Amino acid sequence: MSLDVEVYRRQGFGARLGVSGALGLLIVDFVNGFADPARFGGGNIVAAIERSAAALSEARRRHWPIVHTRIVFADDGCDANVFCAKAPTLLGLTESIPASAIVPELSPLPGELVVRKTAPSAFFETGLRSWLTQRKVQTLLVAGATTSGCVRASVVDAMSCGFRPVVLRDCVGDRLLAPHEASLFDMDQKYADVRPLDEVLKDLPG
């Protein structure tokens, strides 16, 4: 155990949440713009998208509730907020442009919820919490981008809402690896379990 981790252990962080009750899958902002290094992408995002296709396939096979999110601003920018004041290029993610569309390999099927949001968290002023609660989800598997941004924000809110987040380590990506790794460490210590997809599936029946 590294000295850094030992500090957290000594202070009581890093307990395991485990998997409990019904599962759901949340895929955060895997849209064309975040798959494109010239737009919002880079780092390990493309690899995380490819791995998330396996997570999505497994979720469909097991009939879990599935949620996809997109950042979508109004065409005229009337819903501009502090998030896009910090990152003005996000205002270009409007409903109909290709960059805001979910990547083809993760295209939603009928019955899968698509959450449109204008803030980092998938839960902020959306109906996601109620939708998951109605379907009795207790453990929420999380994939998406970026690890240090909208994934982390969504995980913190999921935990705050009473869900048990499990971040699928190989299914989340960021444009730079340093914030990606730091955020995985932080979430694993405070807000979620961080585990590879195969390891999670191995512990599930069927």
Q: For the segment 91-111, what is each residue's pLDDT rounded down to a tens digit? A: 999 999 999 999 999 999 999
pTM beyond 0.95: the answer is yes
User: CA 50, 42, 122: angle at the middle one, nearest 5?
Assistant: 70
In this predicted structure, what is the pLDDT of residue 206? 73
Alpha helices in 68-170 (DSSP H): 82-86, 128-134, 152-160
Provide the edge-to-edge strand list for the sheet that holds 22-28: 113-117, 66-71, 22-28, 137-145, 164-173, 193-195
Domains of the chain: 21-71+98-202 (3.40.50.850)
Over pLDDT 90: what percentage of the chain? 96
Q: Catalytic positions, please?
A: 150
Average pLDDT of the residues of the chain: 97
1 has pLDDT over 60? no
Q: Closest by alpha carbon to 123, among 103, 142, 98, 102?
A: 142
Instruction: Quick: pLDDT tens for 123-157.
Output: 999 999 999 999 999 999 999 999 999 999 999 99
Q: Bridge partners of 31?
A: 102
Tell me which residue has tokens 């096979």.
61
In this predicted structure, what is the pLDDT of residue 3? 65
In this predicted structure, what is the pLDDT of residue 93? 98
Tell me which residue has tokens 């981008």.
145
